[in-house]
């Protein structure tokens, strides 16, 4: 027989905000703001936005590493480089789809990443998910489809690039989680642009559009927002299991809808509101049935 205090504790656990959950909530919020900034830069090529974003993150990241008195070159260089390559691939593919496809469809396809994240984590991290968590992942993605809908104008090559962005993001998240035993979150964030800048910079030499002062300010803001989002994302995946964290990425759709409504006068159809409810239900229930750390079972 449970006491009232135990019953109250069980109810609160449905909405448990662990440090990892708090970090991913902040990360998805700042990423949503970043997407809004990218949407304002229609004239600037996607690879150039990636380059500016990487330059800002590289600069800010290095300053923070120096202040924290950390070794910027890290300990597990192999994993750090793999994380940087996966992140670079994800970024290039994502920004391409954002500019070539309708924004709604691009975001929907990118939100396949939480499902890929949990799938890959079984191989890279040996962290399985409960079957019930898979159900709620699919439920949350169903909510994304309801919110964003399906656009028949998407070509097969564009679809494949979008799926590549989602898969590469999932791969990067798993490398971040893998690096938790080797390197500080700031070092992991620093290596991302360290790999991106030379790869994208070479291509920028052949295709460059000079930004206006207004566009330059937006590019810098996008870079700062990305840096903050990456730091919180890295902390999230180094604090909790990938299967417990990845589903919260779906909340980025909710953030994006609110930002679109407030800043871009985008309407919210009834189906979108229902979809938001489905997303929130999937996220909350997944959090309720998540796999807890071993020490919690022992307590």
Find the angle CA(11)-CA(291)-CA(273) to the nearest 5 degrees: 60
Q: Which residue has the higher pLDDT, 261 or 28?
A: 28
Number of C-beta neighbours around residue 122 at 10 A = 14
Is the predicted pLDDT of residue 173 greater than 90, yes or no? no
The SS3 of residue 208 is coil
Residue 154 lies in a domain: yes
20 inside domain: no
Compute how many other C-beta atoms are within 10 angstroms of the C-beta atom of residue 262.
Answer: 10
pTM: 0.74
pLDDT exceeds cutoff 50 at 15: no
**Residue 197: closest CA among 92, 70, 298:** 92
Is 16 a domain residue? no
CA distance 201 to 290: 41
Provide φ and ψ at 230, rounded to 5°: -65, -40
* pLDDT of the residue at 85: 94
Is 17 a member of any domain?
Answer: no
What does the pLDDT average to over 3-19? 53
For residue 98, pLDDT beyond 90: no
Q: What percent of the residues of the chain are helix, what percent strand, and what percent coil, each to the nearest 5?
A: 80, 0, 20
Q: By the 8 A CB rule, do 136 and 286 touch?
A: yes
- In whole angstroms, what is the distance from residue 144 CA to residue 149 CA? 8
111, part of any domain: yes
Q: Is residue 296 part of a domain?
A: no
How confident is the model over 33-85, as pLDDT tens digits? 887 888 788 888 888 999 998 999 899 989 999 999 998 888 999 999 999 99
pLDDT of residue 299: 36
Structure tokens at 267: 């309407």
* Dist. CA 233–CA 285, nearest whole Å: 21
Name the domain count of the chain.
1
Q: Is residue 108 part of a domain?
A: yes
256-263: long-range contacts at Cβ-Cβ below 8 A with a sequence spacing of 24 or more? 256/32, 256/35, 256/36, 256/107, 257/147, 259/32, 259/33, 259/36, 260/36, 263/36
- The stretch 201-221 carries a mean pLDDT of 92
What is the per-residue pLDDT for 65?
A: 93
Is pLDDT above 90 for 196? yes
- Whether the CB-CB separation of 73 and 195 falls below 8 Å is answered with no
Percentage of the residues of the chain whose pLDDT score is greater than 70: 77
Q: 287: domain range?
A: 29-291
Residues 184-213, mean pLDDT to the nearest whole number = 91
Q: How confident is the model at residue 13 (pLDDT cuts 50, 70, 90)?
A: very low
Report which of residues 181 and 130 the model is more confident about: 181
């Amino acid at each position: 027989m449970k006491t009232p205090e135990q019953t109250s504790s069980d109810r609160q656990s449905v909405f448990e905000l662990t440090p990892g959950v708090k970090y991913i909530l902040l990360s998805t919020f700042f990423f949503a703001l970043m997407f809004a900034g990218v949407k304002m830069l229609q004239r600037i090529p996607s690879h150039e936005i990636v380059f500016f974003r990487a330059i800002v993150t590289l600069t800010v990241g290095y300053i923070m590493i120096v202040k924290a008195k950390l070794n910027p070159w890290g300990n597990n260089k192999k994993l750090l480089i793999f994380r940087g390559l996966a992140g670079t691939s994800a970024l290039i593919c994502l920004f391409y789809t954002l500019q070539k496809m309708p924004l709604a469809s691009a975001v929907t396809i990118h939100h396949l990443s939480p499902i890929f994240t949990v799938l890959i984590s079984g191989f890279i991290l040996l962290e399985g998910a409960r079957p019930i968590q898979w159900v709620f992942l699919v439920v949350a993605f169903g909510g994304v489809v309801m919110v964003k809908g399906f656009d028949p104008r998407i070509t097969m090559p564009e679809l494949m690039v979008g799926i590549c962005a989602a898969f590469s993001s999932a791969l990067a998240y798993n490398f971040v989680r893998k690096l938790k035993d080797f390197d500080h979150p700031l070092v992991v964030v620093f290596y991302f642009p360290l790999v991106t800048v030379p790869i994208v910079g070479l291509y920028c030499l052949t295709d460059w559009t000079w930004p206006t002062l207004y566009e330059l300010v937006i590019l810098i803001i996008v870079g700062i927002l990305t840096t903050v989002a990456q730091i919180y994302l890295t902390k999230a995946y180094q604090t909790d299991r990938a299967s417990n964290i990845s589903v919260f990425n779906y909340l980025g759709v909710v953030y994006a809808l609110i930002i679109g409504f407030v800043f871009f006068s985008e309407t919210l159809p009834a189906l979108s509101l229902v979809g938001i409810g489905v997303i929130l239900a999937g996220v909350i229930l997944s959090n309720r049935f998540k796999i807890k750390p071993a020490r919690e079972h022992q307590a």
